[in-house]
A and B are shown apart, each in its own frame.
Chain A
Amino acid sequence: MVKVFAIILFTGVLTENFVLRQFLGICPFLGVSKKLNTAMGMSAAVIFVMVLSTAVTFPINKYILEKNNLTYLQTIVFILVIAVLVQFVETVLKKFMKPLYNALGIYLPLITTNCAVLGVVFLNLDKISGGDLNFLSYPYSGSLVNSLGAGVGFMLAMFLFAGVRERMESCEIPKFLQGLPITLIAASLTSVAFLGFDGVIEGIFK
């Protein structure tokens, strides 16, 4: 069981990295990765919301939507549930956990429209219906671990890329590449590095 969870977790972080392999959450990746502490705060909030929204949407899907043949409403239900959840968490944190609110609070409203959060919810369902063996044995806990892995992967990508961008500040860049183009090309090279993780999970755990 520990092995299954470890496989799911490391697959999410490395080989199926959300930002660099699946292109989810690119806006914050390009927009907020300039300052390391903002990037880390944002990523922590993303991890938090990802796990929480998976925890809530999974039972809703299984016991309400699937029971009543309403799965075509998934998109609209999930986005609303996530939006309401984020608002609710923000209010609760503000009232009862001031330090945590100060650290994560300002990022929370942003995350409602982050495609990585809705993406992880759909991806979990996809993996279960697609017959992924690791998920079939532990659908709910596996989904939670996968969401955690996706969030940590997002954080890792943000962290690495913030470092890359810091180095770029002191480089002389050809004029036509300055700004966004060179950022994208740097992202491309970071992504090449992640291609190197292909097969590493099978190698370690099998």
Chain B
Amino acid sequence: MAEKTRLRRELTKGFIKENPVLRLVLGTCPTLAISTSVIGAIGMGISATLVLIGSNAVISALRKVIPSKVRIPVYIVVIASFVTIVQMLVKAFTPAVDEMLGIYLPLIVVNCIILGRAEAYAGKNPVLASTIDGIGMGIGFTAAIILMSIIRELIGSGTLAGIQILPPSVAPMAIFILPPGGFFVYGMMMAAANRLAERKGLAKAELNGCDACPMAGSCGIKNDGKDTKEEVTA
């Protein structure tokens, strides 16, 4: 019974409490780039989730075999294989989505969520828990990117998933589907998430230098992102 609640917690933590996009600040590149349309966001979310589940399961199954010195290259090979599989599936079954995702589809390989979860979770935990962690994180990522794409597509082009929602007499604000709108909406969503987190008594999302970077462990820069000024205020 305790095992079941633990697994359920592993699944749901990715939804809100440790949402990869809004709380852990991972996977910012695809989130910003793909959230211009709901269809693209759904495609991106599902592709990344599939890769995440697969790579988490395989990496966790191999965690005792992989020597820790070469773990990052091994993780990258596993992830790249899954990305190739997903790429082929997307190309074969939904060519329109493939067109929409463009180079961001192969770039799932370097999505920090996937390598980050491999390094932080799957490399240390058993297969079932890691798979569930992958599902939860994937759903959290998909939900955040879809939410953001709804805001941007609705305001930026007046449609949702290609269907006209706002009356044509309302001129859409095109800047929301342009790059500046992406940064702006993400910033506002982050502010809202921080506000909610504060109410629940959680720490706010913060990108402290290299925290989000899965390579931080093997890298020489000791950048904790804190300078003297922040330490005074904190």
Least CB distance from B39 to A in Å reads: 18
Q: Which residue of B lies closest to A182 (CB)?
A: B187
Q: Which residue of B lies closest to A77 (CB)?
A: B80
Main secondary structure of the interface of A (DSSP, over half): helix
Q: CB within 8 Å of A: which of B154-194?
A: 175, 178-184, 186-188, 190-191, 194
List of A residues within 8 angstroms of B227 by Cβ: 34-35
Q: B12 at the A/B interface (Cβ < 8 Å)? A: no
Least CB distance from A17 to B in Å reads: 9
List of B residues within 8 angstroms of A195 by Cβ: 178-180
Name the segment of B52-60, B128-136, B137-145, B207-215 touching the other chain: B207-215
List of B residues within 8 angstroms of A28 by Cβ: 213
List of A residues within 8 angstroms of B184 by Cβ: 184-185, 188
List of A residues within 8 angstroms of B147 by Cβ: none
Q: A151 at the A/B interface (Cβ < 8 Å)? A: no
A72–B80 CB distance below 8 A: no
Least CB distance from B155 to A in Å reads: 14
Interface contacts (Cβ under 8 Å), in number, total 164
Cα–Cα distance between A25 and B212 once the two chains are bound (Å): 13
Contact with B along A45-68 (1 / 0, CB 8 A): 000000000000000000000000
B103–A185 CB distance below 8 A: no
List of B residues within 8 angstroms of A185 by Cβ: 183-184, 187-188
CB contact under 8 A between A176 and B29, given known A75-B87, A113-B112: no
CB contact under 8 A between A30 and B28, given known A185-B184, A188-B180: yes
Q: B219 at the A/B interface (Cβ < 8 Å)? A: yes
Q: Which residue of B lies closest to A107 (CB)?
A: B221
A106–B219 CB distance below 8 A: yes
B191–A177 CB distance below 8 A: yes
List of A residues within 8 angstroms of B87 by Cβ: 72, 75
Q: A99 at the A/B interface (Cβ < 8 Å)? A: no
Cα–Cα distance between A159 and B32 once the two chains are bound (Å): 21
Instruction: Point out the residue from B77, B107, B182 that lies within 8 Å of A115, measured CB to CB.
Output: B107
Chain A interfacial positions (CB closer than 8 Å to B): 20-28, 30-32, 34-35, 38, 72-76, 79-80, 83, 105-107, 109-110, 112-115, 118-119, 122-123, 126, 169, 176-177, 179-185, 187-189, 191-192, 194-195
